[in-house]
Structure 1
């Protein structure tokens, strides 16, 4: 077949274009492009200047270079592929159609090239943005990866293959697959509508090449997909769940062999399609894809059948080796494979000698609760509406030579709270630039009014630890940028009716040269930065003052804890410490937690100076392979030499500990059959806060661990059995010195009951004296707050401590510590101070006083006169608890409830009779009546 070739002279369509309009349109488009490019350029330059001022320009250059490289590769790949595709389509059309039959854009070569390059440029930008945005970290970690020295039991690859290599190649294959699918859609539409794939050899070649590439890339995706079986708990496309996270029996028998078949089938199918296009054979054209789909569906059905009919009837024995892999690798991924486990008897008795031996532990028992304490700090120590405490944290300090646990909070500046008339650019940018000082209080002391006993307070700060540089320019607030050392003096702190001013003394900001003023005026959209006469050559710009924003901008590849805490260094300066994590969801066989990852470490402590904004990334876990990989990429970013006064305040992070404890609830089981049946699942205990039962969170305490010589800072989490309230174990993380990061587990003997936190809460509710007092305090416009219930292990015994706050119902209420409840074994006392409560418990254990407060030998009279109305309320509550326990099958709990009911009735009778029961006969009568009542209640049940 011959086609007539038309030259431009043979056909010149008339274009009715308004040249003037076109010119101005072009100018507008050019200006928009220049503005966008300039804006991007300014943003990059401003970021580089800022990073360079902090000493991290090499980090910026490394990331930017990787982005530029991937951007260039992605742009060329996506744009050139699309342009060549469009060019090939036009040539095929020109060869086979008359000029007047061509689409409009194909008739004029200049218009075609202009529009094609425009579309290709746009497509290249989209593709390259995706490639550089998602791929730069995978590219760099793939290049600089460090092995984990742990191999998976199925394919024998080091874990680094799954963490670094597999994500990178999956990203490459997915990008190519997306590109080829778009090209195939364009080619299929262009050649399908015109039917050129039957008549034009060039069109067929293009389609054949695209189909072959699609088959090869799809096959590569299936080939890599076999590794996904180590990173999932589903066994087929129907999302059928397996009892194992990672490779299961069905994966080993069906899915992995199927992946090899599916890797070859797309290539075979592509060849069949190519043959069908060459021979114009519909059967070959359809046969290849149909075979691929049939095998894919058959594989899914086969996996479903094996799971249903071979695995499920004998699941444990089929999955036993894979359950072991899941157990081992999950423990490794969360750092739970080297926990030091011991037995804690929980049977020790409290005595004066025990109290004396553990005086430092008892002196650091936290009787204040950080949640209501934050309100107290903001009301007592903020002084002005524009000051704000965002958080109150727990830390420890050497104060007057003693190791003391303290609460500490930073007094930050919130310019949004300035009066409306003061919300000017000068005030927000030049004058109100920083917060001021901290407040700190004892965890274990309160004033006679129930307020915290402050260690550091007031403006300027008074007390110990001494603060020499209280200005806080960088913190947790959403701070705007500020410019310091201008012709306007900065507000420092209020003093009476006037204000004290200040001048910034460091040299860590961005110098306000004329060029820098222009750059940051553009970036901030604030011309005042450039034109203001209040800014001079000595001025500095402080940028990204929110510490989380600052850290994420410097090292975005780390995951940061959302609870920074302020620290006073030995020289009196203030710093922020933020825990930085390395995480991945690519650890084979490891069960993920709710956050989506299945591996976590805390190798880095990020430290930000609250005054200068200087940032240091201190290494605390150099054995972490993920950190080692980032250290290869950014060799100058991390610091391994840690100042002692900073290291002394490192805390094991609560968030990471919570993730570990969540996993350990299940993965503490070592027996595979017990693990499979989840027979020994643990739970987090509950506690009462206000009037609600909430999940108990990990908490810091100071205590002396068994076999240790001194007290240390501990993070601990109690556990209870699943669906039961007695305590079965507690997990601890050590925080001090060389022992930092060590995990300890103390199990309680299973043959005896150790009270759990909720059981203590219930006993508090059931105590006639305490419950009545709590009810009385909750009346008349007041309410009670039950603070943290802390379990305090002391040698072989356990104490339970709970502060009781009293506050009014008014909006400006000030919570006050009213009483301290302390429980020990079967004793519960409520006193004004913790020391009085401990003294009372020691006397009760020694027999010096009875639990009801009477001296031995005195008439057994209840010191509290119980009214009939209160007795009815107490009995109603106890009987409701009894009914609930009976309904839940908790016979032991129900028995205790009934015993308490009998005790209340007996106490009432003694009160009504005025003294002792009087005779054995009267006591027997009481017992018979109680038994009769019990029998009747049981019959009702």
Structure 2
């Protein structure tokens, strides 16, 4: 151990620097873990107790489908998202979802080429449910007690936008999203050519149609463009269909993460994207990473192994394997759900890798100062980065090289307690007591437990702040 200590010290220092785990970012605090709590302590910690979650985004999707699907061709993913909004002056977390079009759910004549690509073109609605609330069972005439409270921002039956919250939304139509893009040939042909063609909503007596007015898409009204896309999609209707006119545009490449990769192929994107209402627009937020695989003395990590928790395994959302020895969440990206506009913002302006790419592709990434307060309020500490960091914290919280060599003070990422699961327990977003500031204010954070090495005893509790003023600060409570 003594002979190896110099090299172990270098590895500890380099690995902490490479994965953002230095003292500048991580704060360790001893925690006694009192078993008994009196009523006064509970009352003082209302930021935690009032936000105890009743809804699990990993299992609540069927309830969203039952109450909010509306039509057979609308769809919610199996795993929904968690975000936070301020309501009535208090920070609350919400289970949120975009009600997207799923072309795979079209049936019968809905599947023909004209209907598939020119009529059923977009989803409709941003659905949110307070994560700490369900409908009361007593005196419920509709027998919906125990189900979520839904706040649906949609195009209503009279054509106007109904937006009860948690934030106002001007445009609930969704042309770009991961569900829309999951179907083969996910393109839509839009634009004003005679009467409105796109299915939009229904009244008591008729179906109302719509015409896309966004800036996204490629003109396809001339014969050269029609020939190009006929060859690209191996579809002769581009040449012969009368529904394509001089004002037609084609929307394709509609997956938000793929659009970010097309703009910045040097980024590694997080496996999760989530919808948010920002400045009355619905956007998809994507975390982008800069990575290296040759950072000197830093430990090499498999992204696929570190990020494969029980939730990812259950929905078969495993990332391709990639070995890294350096990672930074350097970029926050947004994709407008209506027109597909991609915007990249620098999140970590100290990252030298990002600085090099920004010099190579000037103007691609906007400075951090361009992140509006409305957007900053919905940025989350990313899950994939946090999973990688907790895997490394299991060893690299140890300072002493001799103790490191002996492995006696190592931790483990806990397995999911579900008896049928054999993968890591996923981290959780919660609104709770502010550990970054060490006060009782409400804070949106990503959390995980850590076990003793090869023992099912709690060793530490790790929290990463997503609040704008303390974003990225990691607090480790050691037991």
**TM-score after normalising by structure 1:** 0.44
1:427 is aligned, of 112, 115, 132, to 115
Q: Secondary structure at the match of 1:323?
A: helix
1:452 is aligned, of 133, 148, 173, to 148
Q: How far 1:604 moved relative to its partner?
A: 0.3
Q: Secondary structure at the match of 1:379?
A: helix
Alignment deviations for residues 445-498 of structure 1 (CA, whole Å, 9 cap, x no partner) = 112232112233776355212332110000002251111124451011344574
Which has the higher relative contact order, 1 or 2, with Cα contacts under 8 A spaced 6 or more apart?
2
2:74 corresponds to 1:387: yes
Q: Give the corresponding residue for 2:165.
A: 464
Q: Give the corresponding residue for 1:321.
A: 6
2:387 is aligned, of 658, 662, 682, to 658
2:131 corresponds to 1:443: yes
Q: Give the corresponding residue for 2:272.
A: 563
2:17 corresponds to 1:332: yes
Q: Cα 1:690–1:319, aligned 2, differ >3 Å: closer, same or farther?
A: closer
2:470 corresponds to 1:739: yes
Alignment deviations for residues 728-763 of structure 1 (CA, whole Å, 9 cap, x no partner) = 211111111121111111112xxxxxxxxxxxxxxx
- Tell whether the 8 Å contact from 1:603 to 1:621 is kept in structure 2 after alignment: yes
Q: Give the corresponding residue for 1:674.
A: 403
- Tell whether the 8 Å contact from 1:381 to 1:457 is kept in structure 2 after alignment: no
Q: Distance in 1 between matches of 2:202 and 2:444?
A: 37
Q: Distance in 2 between matches of 1:680 and 1:498?
A: 69
Q: Cα 1:693–1:495, aligned 2, differ >3 Å: closer, same or farther?
A: farther
- Tell whether the 8 Å contact from 1:397 to 1:403 is kept in structure 2 after alignment: yes
1:359 is aligned, of 38, 46, 52, to 46
Q: Give the corresponding residue for 2:106.
A: 418
Q: Secondary structure at the match of 2:388?
A: helix
Structure ID, larger Rg: 1
Q: Secondary structure at the match of 2:298?
A: coil
Q: Distance in 2 between matches of 1:597 and 1:376?
A: 39
Q: Distance in 2 between matches of 1:525 and 1:456?
A: 39
Question: Which residues of 2 match residues 125-164 of structure 1 at below 5 A?
Answer: none
Q: Cα 1:394–1:575, aligned 2, differ >3 Å: closer, same or farther?
A: same
Q: Distance in 2 between matches of 1:321 and 1:347?
A: 39
- Tell whether the 8 Å contact from 2:54 to 2:133 is kept in structure 1 after alignment: yes
Q: Give the corresponding residue for 2:238.
A: 529
Q: How far 1:349 moved relative to its partner?
A: 4.3
Q: Give the corresponding residue for 2:452.
A: 721
Q: Distance in 2 between matches of 1:717 and 1:382?
A: 33
- Tell whether the 8 Å contact from 1:577 to 1:606 is kept in structure 2 after alignment: yes
2:306 corresponds to 1:577: no
Question: Which residues of 2 match residues 751-762 of structure 1 at below 5 A?
Answer: none
Q: Distance in 2 between matches of 1:684 and 1:508?
A: 43
Alignment deviations for residues 3-30 of structure 1 (CA, whole Å, 9 cap, x no partner) = xxxxxxxxxxxxxxxxxxxxxxxxxxxx
Q: Distance in 2 between matches of 1:639 and 1:517?
A: 35
Q: Cα 1:400–1:705, aligned 2, differ >3 Å: closer, same or farther?
A: closer
Q: Distance in 1 between matches of 2:43 and 2:301?
A: 43
Q: Give the corresponding residue for 2:61.
A: 374
Q: Cα 1:513–1:557, aligned 2, differ >3 Å: closer, same or farther?
A: same
Question: Which residues of 2 match residues 757-772 of structure 1 at below 5 A?
Answer: none
Q: How far 1:357 moved relative to its partner?
A: 2.1
Q: Distance in 1 between matches of 2:151 and 2:235?
A: 43
Q: Distance in 1 between matches of 2:205 and 2:417?
A: 45
Q: Cα 1:436–1:458, aligned 2, differ >3 Å: closer, same or farther?
A: closer
1:538 is aligned, of 247, 256, 259, to 247
1:482 is aligned, of 176, 188, 212, to 188
Alignment deviations for residues 43-73 of structure 1 (CA, whole Å, 9 cap, x no partner) = xxxxxxxxxxxxxxxxxxxxxxxxxxxxxxx
Question: Which residues of 2 match residues 766-785 of structure 1 at below 5 A?
Answer: none
Q: Cα 1:589–1:494, aligned 2, differ >3 Å: closer, same or farther?
A: farther
Q: Cα 1:409–1:356, aligned 2, differ >3 Å: closer, same or farther?
A: same
Q: Distance in 1 between matches of 2:241 and 2:422?
A: 57
1:506 is aligned, of 214, 226, 235, to 214
Q: How far 1:518 moved relative to its partner?
A: 2.9
- Tell whether the 8 Å contact from 1:381 to 1:458 is kept in structure 2 after alignment: no
Q: Cα 1:693–1:494, aligned 2, differ >3 Å: closer, same or farther?
A: farther
Alignment deviations for residues 195-252 of structure 1 (CA, whole Å, 9 cap, x no partner) = xxxxxxxxxxxxxxxxxxxxxxxxxxxxxxxxxxxxxxxxxxxxxxxxxxxxxxxxxx
Q: Cα 1:536–1:559, aligned 2, differ >3 Å: closer, same or farther?
A: same
Structure in which a larger fraction of residues adopt helix: 1
Q: How far 1:340 moved relative to its partner?
A: 1.2
Number of aligned positions between the proteins: 432
Q: Cα 1:682–1:496, aligned 2, differ >3 Å: closer, same or farther?
A: farther
Q: Distance in 1 between matches of 2:20 and 2:217?
A: 40
Q: How far 1:693 moved relative to its partner?
A: 6.9
Alignment deviations for residues 704-727 of structure 1 (CA, whole Å, 9 cap, x no partner) = 235336211111111110122221
**What is the RMSD computed on CA atoms of the aligned residues?**
2.0
Q: How far 1:594 moved relative to its partner?
A: 2.1
- Tell whether the 8 Å contact from 2:129 to 2:149 is kept in structure 1 after alignment: yes
- Tell whether the 8 Å contact from 1:473 to 1:610 is kept in structure 2 after alignment: yes
Higher mean displacement: 533-542 or 452-461? 452-461
Q: Give the corresponding residue for 1:347.
A: 34
Q: Give the corresponding residue for 2:365.
A: 638
Q: Secondary structure at the match of 1:737?
A: coil
Q: Secondary structure at the match of 2:92?
A: strand
- Tell whether the 8 Å contact from 1:688 to 1:694 is kept in structure 2 after alignment: no
Note the residue ranges of structure 2 that are not aligned, 5 or more in a row.
138-144, 157-161, 304-322
2:388 corresponds to 1:701: no
**TM-score after normalising by structure 2:** 0.86
Alignment deviations for residues 71-114 of structure 1 (CA, whole Å, 9 cap, x no partner) = xxxxxxxxxxxxxxxxxxxxxxxxxxxxxxxxxxxxxxxxxxxx
- Tell whether the 8 Å contact from 1:437 to 1:467 is kept in structure 2 after alignment: no
Q: Distance in 1 between matches of 2:442 and 2:434?
A: 7
Note the residue ranges of structure 1 that are not aligned, 5 or more in a row.
1-315, 749-941
- Tell whether the 8 Å contact from 2:153 to 2:172 is kept in structure 1 after alignment: no
Q: How far 1:635 moved relative to its partner?
A: 0.6
Alignment deviations for residues 109-130 of structure 1 (CA, whole Å, 9 cap, x no partner) = xxxxxxxxxxxxxxxxxxxxxx
- Tell whether the 8 Å contact from 2:155 to 2:172 is kept in structure 1 after alignment: no
Q: Give the corresponding residue for 1:404.
A: 92
- Tell whether the 8 Å contact from 2:91 to 2:431 is kept in structure 1 after alignment: no
Q: Give the corresponding residue for 1:473.
A: 175
Alignment deviations for residues 849-900 of structure 1 (CA, whole Å, 9 cap, x no partner) = xxxxxxxxxxxxxxxxxxxxxxxxxxxxxxxxxxxxxxxxxxxxxxxxxxxx
Alignment deviations for residues 406-457 of structure 1 (CA, whole Å, 9 cap, x no partner) = 1001111111211132211111111111011121111111122321122337
